[in-house]
């Protein structure tokens, strides 16, 4: 003869205990993710400065082009110093060139035109050229690039 123990109190207790454990773990995980959302772990962007050359060698009417750390860069001199822009057009990614007679950057793909400040003034480019920070120390000119 076998004895079957049907204890409803024990089942109710175990069911409640496992439900409470599951809810606690679920809500705890959700709470931790919510705190991460409110206070993200933002690390400071790291950048490096790369020497472009001596300021006396970089002066001139037009743009000087560089391939720096895999980035195509156009350097222009202005009254305030030097400005550096990406040579990659913001429309299709073609390389822009400098037209000295018009004092503009020209994109050969769709005839997009940017002024000497990198602002898109004509054609399909949706936004200005990306600009890089230029640092001048003594007679040396550096460009500041973000490091991944």
Please identify every stretch of the chain with a pLDDT value under 50, giving residue numbers as ranges.
Answer: none
Q: Is the domain of 7 the same as that of 53?
A: no
Q: Is the domain of 80 the same as that of 137?
A: yes
Q: Is the domain of 27 the same as that of 59?
A: no
pLDDT of residue 64: 83
Q: Is the domain of 87 the same as that of 109?
A: yes
Place of tokens 């690039």: 145
Give DSSP secondary structure letters for 63-130. Answer: -EEEEETTEEEEEEEETTEEEEEESB-TTT-PBPEEETTTTEEE-TTT--EE-TTS-EEESS--SPPP
Which stretch of DSSP H or E encloses residue 22? helix 8-38
Q: Is the domain of 15 the same as that of 85?
A: no
Q: Is the domain of 139 the same as that of 99?
A: yes
Domain count, the chain: 2
Please give the DSSP secondary-structure letter assigned to residue 46: E
Q: Is the domain of 35 the same as that of 72?
A: no
Residue pair 67/48 in contact (Cβ under 8 Å)? The answer is no
pLDDT of residue 120: 92
pLDDT of residue 78: 80
Name every residue whose Cβ is closer than 8 Å to that of residue 133 and which is 6 or more positions away in sequence. 84, 143, 144
Phi/psi for 94 (5° steps) reads -75, 160
In this structure, what CATH number is given to the domain that contains residue 110? 2.102.10.10
The domain in which residue 117 lies consists of 46-147
pLDDT of residue 56: 83
What distance in Å separates the CA atoms of residue 24 and residue 46, rounded to the nearest whole number?
39
Q: Is the domain of 69 the same as that of 5?
A: no
Q: Which of 88, 70, 83, 71 is nearest to 127 (CA)?
A: 88
pTM assigned to the model: 0.66
């Amino acid at each position: 003869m076998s004895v079957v123990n049907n204890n409803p109190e024990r089942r109710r207790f175990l069911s409640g205990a496992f439900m409470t454990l599951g809810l606690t773990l679920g809500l705890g995980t959700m709470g931790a993710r919510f705190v991460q959302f409110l206070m993200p772990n933002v690390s400071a962007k790291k950048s490096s400065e790369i020497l472009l050359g001596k300021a006396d060698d970089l002066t001139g009417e037009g743009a000087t082009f560089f391939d720096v750390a895999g980035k195509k860069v156009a350097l222009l001199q202005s009254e305030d110093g030097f400005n550096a822009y990406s040579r990659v057009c913001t429309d299709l990614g073609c390389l822009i060139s400098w037209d000295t007679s018009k004092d503009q950057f020209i994109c050969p793909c769709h005839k997009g035109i940017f002024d000497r400040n990198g602002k898109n003034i004509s054609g399909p480019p949706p936004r200005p050229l990306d600009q890089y920070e230029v640092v001048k120390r003594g007679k040396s000119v550096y460009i500041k690039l973000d490091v991944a």
